[in-house]
């Protein structure tokens, strides 16, 4: 089994896989680095905050997902989506 395939097997064996760690294995890069490469680095702190709050929520702190966080997510949804599309297009262009 190839090294990359072994790493995928490790990720798929656990429910609590960190999405950013999986991205590193899948693309040999970081999502943060790709966001910066396509000019959307300002989105990263927002995503990191959401991930941190999600982790707190999952580990017994339901107050981590509050109205203020929901409001910020809604306000920044369009910008985050545009950033995701730019990164997707960067990755898809490499497949051609």
- pTM, two decimals, is 0.75
Quick one: pLDDT at residue 18?
64
Cα 9 to Cα 26: distance, rounded to the nearest angstrom: 12
Cα 4 to Cα 25: distance, rounded to the nearest angstrom: 7
Give the model confidence (pLDDT) of 41-66 as tens digits. Answer: 999 999 999 989 998 999 999 999 99
Question: Percent of the chain, pLDDT > 70?
Answer: 79
What is the residue range of 65's domain? Answer: 3-95
3-state class of 1 per DSSP? coil
Cα 41 to Cα 30: distance, rounded to the nearest angstrom: 12
Cα 89 to Cα 34: distance, rounded to the nearest angstrom: 11
Provide the number of structural domains found in the chain.
1
CB 54 within 8 A of CB 35: no
């Amino acid at each position: 089994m190839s090294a990359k395939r072994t790493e995928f097997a490790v990720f798929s064996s656990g429910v609590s896989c960190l999405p950013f760690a999986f991205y590193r294995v899948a693309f040999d890069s970081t999502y943060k680095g790709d966001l910066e490469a396509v000019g959307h680095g300002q989105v990263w702190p927002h995503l990191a905050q959401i991930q941190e709050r999600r982790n707190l929520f999952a580990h017994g702190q339901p107050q981590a997902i509050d109205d203020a966080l929901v409001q910020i997510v809604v306000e920044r949804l369009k910008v985050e989506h545009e950033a995701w599309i730019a990164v997707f297009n960067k990755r898809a262009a490499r497949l051609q």
